[in-house]
Amino acid sequence: MATLPKVVGRIRDLRAAVGGFKAEGAQVALVPTMGALHAGHVALAEKAREIAQRTVVSIFVNPTQFAPHEDFSRYPRTLEEDLFKLADVGVDLVYAPTATEMYPAGFAARIEVGGPSAGLESDFRPHFFGGVATVVGKLFIQCAPHFAVFGEKDYQQLKVVTRLSRDLDLGVEVVGLPTIREEDGLALSSRNAYLDEEQRRIAPVIYTALARAADAIRSGAPADAAVATARGMIEALGLKVDYVAARNADTLAPLKDRGEPVRLLAAAWLGDTRLIDNIPV
């Protein structure tokens, strides 16, 4: 069994370690996570290992991206298992700060990113991207990596953090990795742990519906009609849909032209669990 990676919880220890990596001439890749690591996260860490000589994984369940009624307190926390998984990948450093290290007394700053954060998730979780942009901005500033690896599973988030890095001159190249799925198509997510057996059986419908819509659009169907059909498929299995949408894959703006790159995105509730997914057309 591989040695567990070194874990630091303080910004100054993170900076000292990353400074050491850079002094060796290494490039550094950061994988920001909220822990509860699954094969999707492992793939992100493997990608980080591939593109940089040194890999840092942060584990921080960020309170500011949850609204009061959301699942912050029940969000799975599995640090020990997480460390074993990261050891197997050969991650060099785990940064697991406390909430007070990230948000000390009197903390009052907030980073907002407009543009790609408009609509979709923001219509249903208006606090979300402000919380994400602030914590990712801080992680980028604290760690100062060359690369950061995010999953396409949170596609809108990927666009937001890409814009964030560019707009604040953070110098971090954001790398997106295609979503890892179960055999039946369900996108891997820490929140899948909330699903009971029956829900787990139904959950892949989001992916299936999006995949059919993508096929329909590729065959010439109008995006609006394909999206409406997908929504109907998901609702037919009893899920409560927040949105199913076809958007410009780069800007996430509503579609205007034929021929622009299209991404299909959806969010829906299965009981008390909110699932999201997206695919390219």
Binding residues for (R)-pantoate, as ranges, are: 65, 157
Q: Which amino acid is at 31?
A: V
**For a second copy, the closer CB: 133 or 175:** 133
Q: Does 93 bind a second copy (CB under 8 A)?
A: no
Question: In the range 115-134, which residues lie near a second copy by CB under 8 A?
Answer: 115-117, 133
Q: Which of 41, 69, 127, 146 is catalytic?
A: 41
Question: In the range 149-208, which residues lie near a second copy by CB under 8 A?
Answer: 163-164, 166-170
Which of the 8 DSSP states describes residue 254? B
Active site residue 69: no
Computed on alpha carbons and rounded to an integer, the radius of gyration of the chain in Å comes to 19
Tokens of 102: 């990230």
Tokens of 216: 């329909």
Tell me the closest approach of the beta carbon of residue 129 to a second copy, in angstroms: 11
Chain centroid to CA 30: 13
Q: Does 111 bind a second copy (CB under 8 A)?
A: yes
Tell me the closest approach of the beta carbon of residue 91 to a second copy, in angstroms: 22
The residue whose two tokens read 């787990």 is 200
**Length of the chain as a residue count:** 281
Q: Does 260 bind a second copy (CB under 8 A)?
A: no
Tell me the closest approach of the beta carbon of residue 254 to a second copy, in angstroms: 16
Instruction: Provide the Cα torsion 277, 207, 279, 59; round to 10°.
Output: 30
Alpha-carbon span 160 to 47, nearest angstrom = 20
- Please, how many CA atoms are within 13 Å of residue 246, restricted to the half-sphere of its CB? 30
**For a second copy, the closer CB: 42 or 249:** 249
Q: Which residues bind a second copy (CB under 8 A)?
A: 11, 104, 106-117, 133, 137-138, 141-142, 163-164, 166-170
Active site residues: 41
